[in-house]
Each structure stands twice: as C-alpha cells, then as structure tokens.
Chain A
C-alpha cells in the first residue's frame, strides 16, 4: 500500500479564455521510504501537481476532480482546518528558489523556531536545541542560525530549506526543483544531503525536476509527465534503460549521458499542446515520430510496476532501436 496515492487528479486554472487543465487525470503512487522523481518539461504541470499535493494552489487554481489519498485519507477533500493540522507535520516542502522561500527580514533561527514551536508544539529551549540539531544534520554550522537568508550562499539556503522541511519529521517531502538554481558541484552536494537524510529518516520524497540526470542520480522511481498527464512511470533503472513511451525515449536522448559516453543530443521537435483545448487521444501524438491513426484515441495504460500509456507498447523494443537514430527525430 502506497503512502501517497493520487487518483484521476484534475487541477484547473481559471483564465479569461476558460479553464486550463494543468493537471489532467494524474495517477501516481509513492511508496513509503523511497524517492520518486517527477520529471517533465516546463509547463507540463509537475509544479502544479506538487502545489496541489501541498494544498496551496494559487487563487486561480483549484482541484476540479480526483483524490489525493495520503496515509489513508483523501487530503483533497479535507476541510481547511483539518488540512492545516497535517500540513508540515506529515508532509512538507522544499522549494525551488530558496532565496524567496525564506523570509528576508527574519533570522533563520526565528524561521526554524516558528515551525518548531507553532506547528511542532515544542517549548522554546527544546526548539532551540532541535534547530541546532537540524542545522547540524544538513551540514550547516548552528552558529549560522543567527544569520539572515541573504547572508547565505545558494547551496546553504537550500540546506536551510531542507532543515526546515525535516523539522517536524514528516512522512513525505515534496521537493520542487530543489537543485535547479545551483551549480553542478553544489547540486550534487545538496542531492547527497537529501538522499542520505531520506534514507536515514526513512521518509518518502517526491523530487520534481526537469533534469533526467538528477532523476538518474537521486531517485528510486520516476514518473514522466507530459501535458498534464503521467505518460510513464516505474523504477528508475527500468524507465531510463528500457523506456516504453516514445516521449521518455525522446527525453533520454535529449540529455547528455551521465557516464560521459559520446553521444549526439537530439531535441524533440515541436511544442506541447495547449492545455486550454488539449487534443483527444495521446497528447504526444503531434510530436511523436511513431504516430499512428489510432493515437487519436485515448491510449490504454499498461498494468504492472513499470507502466506507460501508449498504443504501441508491444513494439517498444523496436521503437527504442529506431529512437536511438537521430534521423528519427528530424522534423518531417
């Protein structure tokens, strides 16, 4: 039984032109004690999905359907006070840009104590001790608790954000592009901190990213998102080595290989469809080199731990061979 189980989740944004279905029928399972990568290009709805899970969609956004089962309850259906009661205590968040995510006019100590005291119910002395312990845990000197966020480097801010996220020992942490703004050396340090703590504390994590390399490095499982839907998911090794969906095949060729093999990067031609009027059937059809007439209808989702939504799953091995040839992805 999964810790988090999202079923047919739909999130819409109200716009002048009508509702935009940023997340459109997402199914996602996150087992306890593992890191699940949520990967996709800009605008595919991955950050919106993360916000919906945290219950803080912008004013224009709302959950228009589906369930978010977390520890046995549908948290999408909870009243605001009940939702607030589990916020941060059971599931917390590591933001994309740690600069703005920390209050610029308050010391880190105040921001840690606020969470530990107001949400954790600790006394001041205990909270102070815990704040030092947390800083220690993420590799920051507790002396720096008396600093303001602007006195931290990007990597340090990200570590402080991790300390904040872990403060109340949640069961699930959602990290939205936690290393995107950092250089690769610091990226790796921060990912190591996250992975070590995740393993040590046995918590589950959703790592939202656009970077396949981050997924390959840090995640146990991966879900590939495209135009508001999850097109493929499964264990990282399976999905990246033997992708079933043509979009995942394209993605793996659009990033440099982690192990430095010489290879040509091949872009996927075209842009994702408008989510205002998404096409019927497979959403990747317009960009897919293997498109067939039946792709105009909704593709079936295969069963099993590694599954994908594609009409040509049975031919996946041949398609992978074709996808490895750059000419396949050339615009027609």
Chain B
C-alpha cells in the first residue's frame, strides 16, 4: 500500500517546487529546493529513505507547509471523524428505522414514493446535493455558514473547547446533512431487503404461532436478525467515509483529511498526500477488522478463533 502510493505520486505529473517559485526564480534556487526536499536523490534511494522513516512512524515533512505530516493529519483527522460519525450515525439510524418500516408496508403508496426517493438521493452526486443545500440553506436564507469549520476570527485553545462550541456544530450541520442524505440509501435498502427476507423465515412464523406480541416478533426476532448485515455495512462505511469525504469536504471547505488530500495532490506535496492515503487505508483496514469482530459478537454462529 505505502509502496503503491509512493510510486503513484512519483508517476503523476507535477513539480513540487512549482508552488514556491515564481517564474522569476532561477534554476539554482529550484535545485536548492529540490535538494532540501531530497528530490535530487535517485528514486530508489528516496524510496528506501521513505520506507525507513515510515517504519519508524515518521511520515515526513510537508513540502508546502513545512510542518510534519503527522501534525497536519492529526489536525484534520478529528474534523473528518466527527463529520463521518455524525452523518453516518444519522444515516444509519434513519435508514434502519425507515427500512424496517418499509419492509412492513410493502406494496403501498409509501413504498412507491420512498424507494425512488431513497434511490435518487443515493444516486445523486454528493457535490450536487451539497451545492443545492448550500444554495438553499446558506446563500439564500443565511441560516447556515457557507464553509469552514469555525467562523472567521474564532480561535479555540483546545480540541475539547472546539468541539463543544455551538459554532463548530453550526458549521458541521450542512456537510453532515449532505453526507447523511448521500449515505442513507444503503442502510435503508439493505435493512428493508434483509428484513423482508427474515420476515419470511420460519422462526418468525413460529413467533406468530406462539402468540407473541408484535413488538416481540419484530424487535426481538426480526430486527435482531436483520441488523447483522447492516452493522457490517456501518463499520465498512465508517472506514470508507474517512477517505470518501473528499467531495463533501471540498464543497464545504471542511478542514478534514479529504481536503488535505486534495490540496496535497494538487500541489504535488508527496509526503502529505502519501500520509493521507496511508491514514485512509489504515482506517479502512481497521474498520474491516472491527466489522468482523462486531459480527462475531452479534451472531453466535460466527466466532473468533476456537473459542466456544
């Protein structure tokens, strides 16, 4: 993974020094810059230095901002995690409830309206949804800010203070809403499909035969079984969203990993871009693992290792 990102960025066109140099700078200045970045060394040597540093947990220095990549990523990560958590949780809470509801009201007018609606928001490009919301709720009415994570001029001393402030959440609302609208289709359709499947299972018929209350049948037996694949999708979605927020973060100028990645790629800031990619990959792998573990906890038929 890290080798791949290393090669990919080196292959991509673009000169990391372009951003520093005005056309008036001469060739010596450029060479000096290249040397200070270590870009004058042969590619294989660069690679070994990079991998060596990586093994020691050192992601390197950003070319453009001159700060350690780790610091830049650590600044951006909480923003992305919060955006992802809020929107994904909202999307799944909504999707699970709506999906279960739709499974029960199959074939009605509600279904005829809501399934295409869910599909449409799922299929609509995020940036388009985001732009519509921006146009309607920010520019037209002024109810929400148009971008960023804090109002201009506001400085927060600590993370805690920052995330407790109403200003931050006010800024979070629109990007989170966009992302939620985009994400809710999957859990909704998944929940509906598995619920419909589970409702036809013999143990549901048995639960009805037993004269159990509708609540017991639906919550204790149907929903519990139908939730299994949705939980997996949630954990995978969490991993994917950390990297997949690029579009929403760009539209709303949200200072998260996605935006760090975009600016780094645009300015050929290799270390930063590579660091961002590795972080995204790591969170995907972590979430995949967590999904597997969660599945084992929820479904007794799946167990970890030889434990019984």
Asked if B299 is at the interface of the complex by the 8 Å CB criterion, the answer is: yes
Q: Which residues on the A side are within 8 Å of B209 (C-beta)?
A: 54-56, 87-88, 92-93
Asked if A115 is at the interface of the complex by the 8 Å CB criterion, the answer is: yes
User: Which of A89, A97, A105 meets B300, CB within 8 Å?
Assistant: A105
Asked if A195 is at the interface of the complex by the 8 Å CB criterion, the answer is: no
Q: For B199, give the chain A residue with the smallest CB separation.
A: A59
Asked if A118 is at the interface of the complex by the 8 Å CB criterion, the answer is: yes
A100-B202, A101-B202, A104-B203 are known contacts. Are A87 and B210 too (CB-CB below 8 A)?
yes
A87-B210, A88-B210, A119-B211 are known contacts. Are A103 and B216 too (CB-CB below 8 A)?
no
Q: Which residues on the A side are within 8 Å of B224 (C-beta)?
A: 103, 105-106
Distance (whole angstroms) from the CB of B224 to the closest CB of chain A: 6
User: Which of B203, B225, B300 meets A101, CB within 8 Å?
Assistant: B203
Tell me, in angstroms, the Cα distance from A107 to B225 when the chains sit together: 13
A93-B206, A93-B209, A150-B300 are known contacts. Are A105 and B216 too (CB-CB below 8 A)?
no
Pair count A-B, CB < 8 A: 67
Tell me, in angstroms, the Cα distance from A84 to B201 when the chains sit together: 20
Tell me, in angstroms, the Cα distance from A96 to B220 when the chains sit together: 22
Distance (whole angstroms) from the CB of A104 to the closest CB of chain B: 6
Q: Count chain B CB atoms within 10 A of each CB in A88, A101, A103 and give the residue with the most.
A: A103
Q: Which residues on the B side are within 8 Å of A150 (C-beta)?
A: 300-301
Distance (whole angstroms) from the CB of A313 to the closest CB of chain B: 38
Tell me, in angstroms, the Cα distance from A7 to B205 when the chains sit together: 25
User: Which of A101, A102, A119 meets B212, CB within 8 Å?
Assistant: A119
Distance (whole angstroms) from the CB of B299 to the closest CB of chain A: 6
Query: How many interface residues does A have (CB within 8 Å)?
Result: 28
Asked if A85 is at the interface of the complex by the 8 Å CB criterion, the answer is: yes
Tell me, in angstroms, the Cα distance from A75 to B242 when the chains sit together: 57
Instruction: Give chain A interface residues in 47-95, CB to chain B under 8 Å.
Output: 54-56, 84-89, 92-93, 95
Distance (whole angstroms) from the CB of A166 to the closest CB of chain B: 13
Distance (whole angstroms) from the CB of B194 to the closest CB of chain A: 13
User: Which of A56, A95, A104 meets B225, CB within 8 Å?
Assistant: A104
Asked if B122 is at the interface of the complex by the 8 Å CB criterion, the answer is: no
Asked if B141 is at the interface of the complex by the 8 Å CB criterion, the answer is: no
Q: Which residues on the B side are within 8 Å of A92 (C-beta)?
A: 209-210
Chain B's interface: helix, strand, loop or mixed, by majority? helix
User: Which of B201, B212, B298 meets A118, CB within 8 Å?
Assistant: B212
Q: For A55, give the chain B residue with the smallest CB separation.
A: B209
Q: Which residues on the B side are within 8 Å of A104 (C-beta)?
A: 203, 225, 299-301
Asked if A255 is at the interface of the complex by the 8 Å CB criterion, the answer is: no
Q: Which residues on the A side are within 8 Å of B225 (C-beta)?
A: 103-105
Distance (whole angstroms) from the CB of A61 to the closest CB of chain B: 12
Q: Which residues on the A side are within 8 Å of B213 (C-beta)?
A: 118
Q: Which residues on the A side are within 8 Å of B221 (C-beta)?
A: 103, 106
Whether A103 pairs with B211 at a CB distance below 8 angstroms is: no
Q: Which residues on the B side are within 8 Å of A97 (C-beta)?
A: 202
Instruction: Give chain B interface residues in 277-305, CB to chain A under 8 Å.
Output: 298-301
Whether A95 pairs with B300 at a CB distance below 8 angstroms is: no
Whether B206 pairs with A87 at a CB distance below 8 angstroms is: no
Query: How many interface residues does B have (CB within 8 Å)?
Result: 22
Instruction: Give chain A interface residues in 102-142, CB to chain B under 8 Å.
Output: 102-107, 114-115, 118-119
A105-B225, A150-B300 are known contacts. Are A115 and B206 too (CB-CB below 8 A)?
no
Whether A148 pairs with B211 at a CB distance below 8 angstroms is: no
Whether B216 pairs with A114 at a CB distance below 8 angstroms is: yes
Whether B211 pairs with A95 at a CB distance below 8 angstroms is: no
Distance (whole angstroms) from the CB of B195 to the closest CB of chain A: 15
Q: Which residues on the B side are within 8 Å of A105 (C-beta)?
A: 224-225, 228, 298-301
Q: Which residues on the A side are within 8 Å of B220 (C-beta)?
A: 106, 114
Q: For B301, give the chain A residue with the smallest CB separation.
A: A150
Whether A148 pairs with B300 at a CB distance below 8 angstroms is: yes
Q: Which residues on the B side are within 8 Å of A102 (C-beta)?
A: 203, 206
Asked if B208 is at the interface of the complex by the 8 Å CB criterion, the answer is: yes
Tell me, in angstroms, the Cα distance from A147 to B199 when the chains sit together: 24
Distance (whole angstroms) from the CB of B100 to the closest CB of chain A: 16
Whether B211 pairs with A85 at a CB distance below 8 angstroms is: yes
User: Which of A88, A100, A106 meets B211, CB within 8 Å?
Assistant: A88
Distance (whole angstroms) from the CB of A195 to the closest CB of chain B: 22
Distance (whole angstroms) from the CB of B199 to the closest CB of chain A: 10
Tell me, in angstroms, the Cα distance from A172 to B224 when the chains sit together: 31
Whether A95 pairs with B301 at a CB distance below 8 angstroms is: no
Distance (whole angstroms) from the CB of B171 to the closest CB of chain A: 41
Q: Which residues on the A side are within 8 Å of B202 (C-beta)?
A: 95-97, 100-101
Q: Which residues on the B side are within 8 Å of A100 (C-beta)?
A: 201-203
Tell me, in angstroms, the Cα distance from A286 to B212 when the chains sit together: 45
Whether B203 pairs with A119 at a CB distance below 8 angstroms is: no
Tell me, in angstroms, the Cα distance from A105 to B203 when the chains sit together: 11
A114-B212, A114-B220 are known contacts. Are A101 and B301 too (CB-CB below 8 A)?
no
Q: Which residues on the B side are within 8 Å of A119 (C-beta)?
A: 210-212
Q: Which residues on the A side are within 8 Å of B228 (C-beta)?
A: 105
Whether A103 pairs with B210 at a CB distance below 8 angstroms is: no
Tell me, in angstroms, the Cα distance from A84 to B210 when the chains sit together: 8
- In the complex, given contacts A102-B203, A105-B301, what are 7 additional A-B residue pairs having Cβ atoms less than 8 angstroms apart? A56-B209, A87-B209, A93-B206, A95-B202, A95-B206, A148-B301, A150-B300
Sorted nearest first, the 9 A-B pairs with minimum C-beta distance are A87-B211, A100-B202, A148-B300, A84-B211, A88-B210, A101-B202, A103-B203, A54-B209, A150-B301
Which B residues are closer than 8 A to A by beta carbons?
201-203, 205-213, 216, 220-221, 224-225, 228, 298-301
Show 10 A/B contacts (Cβ-Cβ < 8 Å), sorted by A: A95-B202, A100-B201, A100-B202, A101-B203, A103-B221, A104-B203, A105-B299, A118-B212, A118-B216, A148-B301
Which A residues are closer than 8 A to B by beta carbons?
54-56, 84-89, 92-93, 95-97, 100-107, 114-115, 118-119, 148, 150
